[in-house]
Amino acid sequence: MGGGARPERVAEEFREVLAEEIPRLKDPRVGFVTVTHVDVSPDLRRATVFYTALGKDRDQRATRAGLQSARSHLRSVLGQQVRLKFTPELEFEEDVGLAQVERVTQLLKEIGEQAAPPRSEEKEGDVGEEGATSE
């Protein structure tokens, strides 16, 4: 295999390793984390790990702090399991896209439940009255 490893393949390997390793962390701040995807820079020197975490804002901030403090450990695990010339620096970003989609879906559902459907007989009556209106 000539050339370097493709960033997409490396990113998927990183995602798999981190998804397995993060739940093993002993840090009580790190809650239930799902690694959604990893973006690796073209030079393979930097990896941004996107994740979702359950819990309220305070719990999510604690999880973020726990992940930040575990960066060097997680990086060394990646270095052992994924063969590369350099092990990239890790950055963690909460994947707000998924959370926003879920929140919008929930809001739309609530709006749909609150809005009463228009009654069909009123619509028909309104149409008939329009023609009878004078200037």
How do residues 33-63 score in pLDDT, each as one tens digit? Answer: 999 999 999 998 999 999 988 888 888 899 9
Q: Is the pLDDT of residue 3 over 50?
A: no
Q: How confident is the model at residue 110 (pLDDT cuts 50, 70, 90)?
A: confident
| Residue 54 CA from chain centroid, whole number | 11
pTM: 0.68
Annotate 3-18 with b (16+ C-beta within 10 A) or e (fewer): eebebeebbebbbebb
Alpha-helical runs (H) found in the chain: 7-21, 57-69, 71-81, 96-114, 120-132
| Residues 6 or more apart in contact with residue 134 via CB below 8 angstroms | none
- The pLDDT assigned to 54 comes to 83
Look up the CATH architecture of domain 7-117.
2-Layer Sandwich (3.30)
Least-confidence region, from 9-23, 43-57, 69-83, 112-126: 112-126
pLDDT of 56-101, one tens digit each? 888 889 999 999 999 999 999 999 999 888 899 999 999 887 667 7
| 22 exposure class (CB count in 10 Å sphere: 0-12, 13-18, 19+) | buried
Q: What residue ranges do the domains of the chain occupy?
A: 7-117
